[in-house]
Structure formats: structure tokens, C-alpha cells
A = this chain, B = another copy of it.
């Protein structure tokens, strides 16, 4: 378990999880994809009620983007966008979090943050729920590309990162979370979800190591 994930839980909790074999590493596969979740202005600009300061996450995600671009690893940027009247595509979620109404097609809040090193061949994928796999083309694109490992960065750890990671594992992918390249509005939900993901669905690893992996130089 990554140190950062480990330090969150009490000794008693850790003992329970180790007994349940929830301290196992899955490891890296041979064909990765980098999925950058929801680093759109609505979440990276603190002026939006849903937003926060994610400067550090953006910087570390750029390190991973550089590694992926250099070795031709496919890159997918996701963003939450509503394109339907009355935000019908958000469904009940819109009733649960009314400020999702800011994330409407055409609004500045749906643009990918321009500090990110997005290149021409990268993919931008619109989603409408927390998981990047839910009712989107991500699943079939990964199959057609022959991907076996999904690296997930972006925000928020307790929302769309967590949901995407659970689905990536459920779909049959080795799933990796670079610990410093995911972030949240508040430290507590961030830490508890890093712990959960690392115990049950993904390997949480140091971002430098994941960058080496993506660049093909990890030994």
C-alpha cells in the first residue's frame, strides 16, 4: 500500500484489511491508457461553486501527459457536460447536486483547463455521471485499442476518480492511481477515498513511478 494511503487509516483498520488480503498489488500491464478525469474549468476554478485549487494536480498530470505523449500511449480527457434540455442527461444527479447546472455545453465551465498539455491526437470524452465508463464510448475504445491498464488522474478523488476506478476494475482492467495526480475539494474525502481505492480496486502508486511506467522506462 502506498505510504500516503496507509497513513490515513488506524492500526486496527489496517489489520482488518490485511487479513482480508486488501493489501495486494496487481501491478502494471503492457498496454496502458491515461485517463484524465474532469480537469475542466468548472472544477479547477475556485469561482465555480463546484471548483477548487487543483494547481498541484494539474502539474503532476502534466508530467504524466509528457510521458504518455513521448511513448504514444493514448490519452483521454473526460469532462462533465450536459447537452440536453433541462439537463435531462444528468437525471436524478442534477436533483442531488443542483450546481451541476453550471456544466452546460457552450459554457466556459466545460472547457478543459488550458494549463494542461493537451495535444491534437488526444481524446476528449463527454460524460454525464461520475464514472467515465458510465454510458460513454470509453469502454469500447479501450477494447478496440487493446488496452490492459488504466491510469486515472484528475478530480475529484471522492467523486469521479473513485467511480471511474471502481468501474475500470469491474471492466477487467489493471487500474493505477498516481497518488499526487488526483485531488479533491477537501482533504478528508481525498484521503479516505485514496485508502478505499488502494485497498480494493487499484494500485495507488507514486506519480514519478507511474510516469516512468508510461514512458516505458520502468524496470
Indicate whether A135 reaches chain B with its CB closer than 8 angstroms.
Answer: yes
Contacts of A52 in B (CB 8 A): 16
- A88 contacts B129, C-beta separation under 8 Å: no
- In the complex, A217 has a CB within 8 A of chain B: no
Q: B residues within 8 A CB of A167? A: 134
State which size class the interface on A falls in.
35 or more
Chain B residues with CB under 8 Å of A174's CB are 92
Q: Is the CB of A170 within 8 A of B93?
A: yes
23 CB contacts below 8 A, A to B, read A9-B186, A13-B189, A20-B185, A21-B49, A21-B97, A21-B98, A22-B97, A24-B97, A24-B98, A26-B96, A83-B124, A84-B124, A84-B125, A84-B141, A89-B140, A91-B169, A97-B200, A130-B170, A135-B170, A140-B170, A140-B172, A143-B148, A146-B146
Which residues of A are interface residues toward B (Cβ below 8 A)? Answer: 8-10, 12-13, 16-17, 19-22, 24, 26, 49-50, 52, 83-85, 88-89, 91-93, 95-99, 120-126, 128-131, 134-146, 148, 158-159, 162-163, 166-167, 169-175, 185-189, 192-193, 195-196, 200-202
